[in-house]
Amino acid sequence: MTAEPGADRLKLVIVGGYLGAGKSTWLRHQLYAGAFPNAHLIINEAAELAVDDAIFGARYPLTLLSGGCACCEGQAAFLTSLRQLCDDRSRAAGPQGRTSIAVLETSGLADPAAIAASLRADPMLAFHLALSEIIVLVDARNAAAQLSADPLGRAQIEAADRLVITKSDLAPPSDTARLVATLQRLNPGATITAETRGEPVPLPDATGADPLPLADHATAPIRPVQIDLPKGLDWASFAVWLSALLAAHGDDIVRVKGTVRTPAGRLLLQGIRDHVQPPEILPDSDMARDGTIVLIGREIDADRVTRSLTRFAGDLL
Binding site for Zn ion (CB under 5 A): 69, 71-72, 110
Q: Which CB, 103 or 269, lies closer to Zn ion?
A: 103
Give the span between the Cα atoms of 266 and 284, in whole angstroms: 6
Q: How far is the CB of 114 from Zn ion (least distance, A)?
A: 7
Q: Which CB, 160 or 245, lies closer to Zn ion?
A: 160
Q: Which CB, 109 or 233, lies closer to Zn ion?
A: 109
Q: Which CB, 69 or 135, lies closer to Zn ion?
A: 69
Q: How far is the CB of 264 from Zn ion (least distance, A)?
A: 35
Q: Which CB, 58 or 218, lies closer to Zn ion?
A: 218
Q: How far is the CB of 63 from Zn ion (least distance, A)?
A: 17
Q: How far is the CB of 154 from Zn ion (least distance, A)?
A: 15
Q: How far is the CB of 36 from Zn ion (least distance, A)?
A: 23
